[in-house]
């Protein structure tokens, strides 16, 4: 079912001579989230726009990727708090990456 919806949408965009790029704005680096000593991967914003989940890999504290969260007070404001996701999640051996949070913010799925 989803591929048909996607194809129908693509046909509408092509028929209207609109590219998907027309919907995107110029990217802006999140300097308050990006680290100069590690790599940030797989960002996922919460549905309310107040939290950004991402993996930080090759950091000085851990070779393995761990999941972090950045928080802000409003969906368009700057992120003011950046920290590892609390609890036992990041205590697992190996990489903890590719996070996805349910729309109700009650479940997180990830790769380990």
* Integer angstrom CA distances of residue 111 from 34, 65, 84, 93: 21, 10, 16, 12
Q: How far apart are CA 32 and CA 35, in angstroms?
A: 8
Q: How far apart are CA 42 and CA 55, in angstroms?
A: 6
Whole-number pLDDT of residue 5:
45
The 10 Å CB-count burial string (b at 16+, else e) for 27-50 is eeeeeebeeeebebbbebebeeeb
Whole-number pLDDT of residue 6:
45
Quick count: other Cβ atoms within 10 Å of Cβ 55? 23
Which of 10-14, 33-37, 58-62, 88-92 has the lowest average pLDDT?
Answer: 10-14
Which is more confident, 18 or 65? 65
Average pLDDT, the chain: 83
Q: Render pLDDT for 42-88 as a digit per residue (tens, 0 to 9).
A: 999 999 999 999 999 998 888 899 999 999 999 989 999 999 999 99
């Amino acid at each position: 079912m989803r591929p048909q919806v996607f194809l129908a949408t693509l046909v509408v965009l092509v028929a209207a001579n609109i590219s998907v790029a027309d919907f995107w704005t110029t990217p802006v680096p999140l300097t308050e989230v990006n680290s100069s000593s590690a790599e940030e991967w797989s960002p996922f914003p919460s549905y309310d726009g107040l939290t950004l989940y991402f993996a930080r890999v090759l950091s000085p504290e851990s070779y393995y990727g761990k999941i972090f969260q950045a928080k802000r007070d409003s969906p368009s404001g700057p992120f003011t708090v950046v920290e590892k996701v609390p609890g036992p999640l990041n205590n697992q051996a190996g990489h903890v990456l590719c996070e996805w949070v349910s729309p109700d913010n009650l479940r997180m799925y990830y790769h380990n």
